[in-house]
Chain A
Amino acid sequence: MNLLLRLWRSSLGKKYVMAFTGIALFGFVIGHLVGNLQVFGNPDLINTYAHFLKSKPGLIWGARIGLLLMVSLHFAAAVTLTLANRAARPIPYAGGSAPGSTWKSRHAMVSGLVILAFVVYHLLHYTALVGGINGTGKDFSLLKTTLPGSNDVVPDVYAMMILGFKVWWVTAFYLIAQALLFLHLGHGLASMFQSLGLRNHTWWPRISAFARATSLVIFLGYASIPIAVLVGGMGSEYAQRALAQTSVNEAK
């Protein structure tokens, strides 16, 4: 316990917390991307995957509680460190500041806050299925389908994704958040190695290249989905049929 308190009270210790929680959240971002990319397959593919997750409450609630803890710690450490950092420079410079630094390294807090706001919206949009905020005028919880080889009626996640991203401002917010995540990870993925002391002049160029390449792949992977829907017209016919089905469901 003494060790944990000491960690939290030290600026270096809080950076270790930032790094470790960052690794966990990075793992989630990769896993979620792999899950989402199944939308490019047959609609049954992602619906089966979503049903699989939902049918394992231990797994999904374990992950949710773990992620909430990781986000809370990452956020709490970031906010307290930022406040201490601001207090350390009471009078700003008139002639410019932070020479030799990049925009993304100076704005990790801002990008992080926008990403957090997006995550809250995204959870209300697709997890809590709050009807009024999806911009389609339809309640996504009415979108149901049956999986091949079973009679279970399950949520039609594929149709939700298609209909959701057909709303231009939902896609715009999504892409802005992804662009900021790209910058946030471009800085953060490399910095976590530095904060944990895992760096020297041989490894630093490799670590930086890893951070740049990985953040770009993540951005392209996530951005490809709403762009395929909005610009490429992916899944339009399926979504129309699913939408027509909702009125039947409503009537029942």
Chain B
Amino acid sequence: MKVTLKVWRQKNAKAAGEFKTYTSPELNPNMSFLEMLDVLNEELSNRGEEPVAFDHDCREGICGTCALVINGTPHGPHKGVTTCQTYMRSFKDGDQLIIEPWRAGPFPIIKDLVCDRKSFDRIQQAGGFITVRTGSAPDANSIPVPKGNSDLAMDAAQCIGCGACVAACKNASAMLFVAAKVSHLGLMPQGQPERYRRVKAMVEKMDTEGFGACTVTGSCEAVCPKEISLDFIARLNRDYAVSLLKGEPKRLKGGGAG
């Protein structure tokens, strides 16, 4: 099979980008989407042209590095699947595929299809951690965790931080990502000490990074390769409201144990 590719090419962060159209070499339908780009790049190199830059790492759907918008849908046509786990058999011979990078102000493009997602790291650094004594592992079951909470926390912890939620949202909102991180830690006993400081810090960092607001369109949930639910955004909204009402802890006069 062969497909026509309309690919976003951009020399560097400062240059203006444009679409270039390529006809793919003969493809095996069982190639992954990224293997198809590898084959295209091989041909481009052989012709002496610059290969298409794109992000990839584990190629087994767990690292969150690959990031392509295929015909307007981040990670391509299938639900709960990353770009690297999308196969050419999902498309028809002769299809035209528009391949674009994640598009969001806080994800500036570095080159071609590669964007800079360090804004996610900065949100994570603002509050996506717990303070525990490092060293020897604690005894198993020394901290009881209700089964329902541990299941929900694991659902939220599925987030691989790929940024498809931002890419899909019409507002380029990072709510689903932040909600997953806040819920993952906020549901566990180990995450309680910083629970309300965390939600404030992460939400405020999200706003200053320039992500949009949530308008409950559901695009993020629809494209999330780990199928993180909008329920977690509601949890984030709830925790943030509680944290604002609680306010900052104030020192009491007098000090000491009194």
Contacts and interface: CB of A to CB of B under 8 A. Distances in A.
A binds B: yes
Interface of A: 3, 6-7, 9-16, 81, 84-102, 105-106, 108, 187, 190-191, 193-201, 204
The 7 tightest CB contacts between A and B, nearest first, are A100-B222, A197-B238, A96-B72, A95-B98, A85-B171, A101-B217, A88-B212
Interface residues of B, number: 52
A85 B215 contact: yes
Interface stretch (B45-53, B203-211, B250-258): B203-211
A197 B222 contact: no
B145 interface: no
Interface stretch (B56-64, B85-93, B133-141, B239-247): B239-247
Nearest to A2: B247
Nearest to B229: A201
B156 interface: no
Contact of A94 (B98, B210, B245): B98
B16 to A, nearest CB: 10
Interface of B is mostly: mixed
Contacts, number: 157
A98 B213 contact: no
B228 interface: no
30 contacts: A10-B207, A11-B203, A12-B203, A12-B236, A12-B237, A14-B213, A81-B215, A88-B211, A89-B104, A89-B105, A89-B170, A92-B103, A93-B69, A94-B6, A94-B19, A95-B70, A95-B100, A96-B72, A98-B170, A99-B222, A100-B222, A106-B215, A190-B216, A193-B234, A194-B214, A197-B235, A197-B238, A198-B238, A200-B231, A204-B231
Interface of B: 6, 19, 69-74, 98, 100, 103-106, 168-173, 203-204, 206-207, 210-219, 221-223, 229-231, 233-241, 244-245, 247
Contacts of A89: 103-105, 170-172, 212
Contact of A106 (B70, B73, B170, B238): B170
B215 A105 contact: yes
Nearest to B210: A88
B6 A88 contact: no
Given A16-B241, A197-B234, A85 B170 contact: yes
Contact of A99 (B168, B171, B213, B237): B168
Contacts of B216: 105, 187, 190-191, 194-195
Given A11-B173, A84-B212, 16 more contacts: A11-B213, A12-B240, A13-B244, A14-B213, A81-B213, A87-B105, A94-B6, A99-B74, A99-B222, A100-B223, A105-B215, A194-B237, A195-B216, A197-B240, A198-B234, A204-B231
A103 B22 CA distance: 33
Interface centre among A96, A97, A198 (most CB of B within 10 A): A97
Contacts of B239: 197
A93 B211 CA distance: 17
A12 B173 CA distance: 11
B254 to A, nearest CB: 24
Contact of B241 (A11, A197, A204): A197
B231 A99 contact: no
Contacts of A95: 69-73, 98, 100
B223 A85 contact: no
Contacts of A193: 234
Contacts of B218: 100-102, 105
Given A85-B170, A89-B105, A197-B241, A102 B213 contact: no
Contacts of A102: 217-218
Interface centre among B206, B213, B223 (most CB of A within 10 A): B213
B72 A99 contact: yes
Contacts of B230: 194, 199, 204
A131 B63 CA distance: 67
Contacts of B231: 199-201, 204
A7 B244 contact: yes
Contacts of A196: 237-238, 241
Contacts of B241: 12, 16, 196-197
Contacts of A191: 215-216
A3 to B, nearest CB: 6
Nearest to B207: A11
A200 B98 CA distance: 36
Contacts of A13: 240, 244
A198 B214 CA distance: 15
Given A16-B241, A197-B238, A90 B105 contact: yes
Nearest to A100: B222
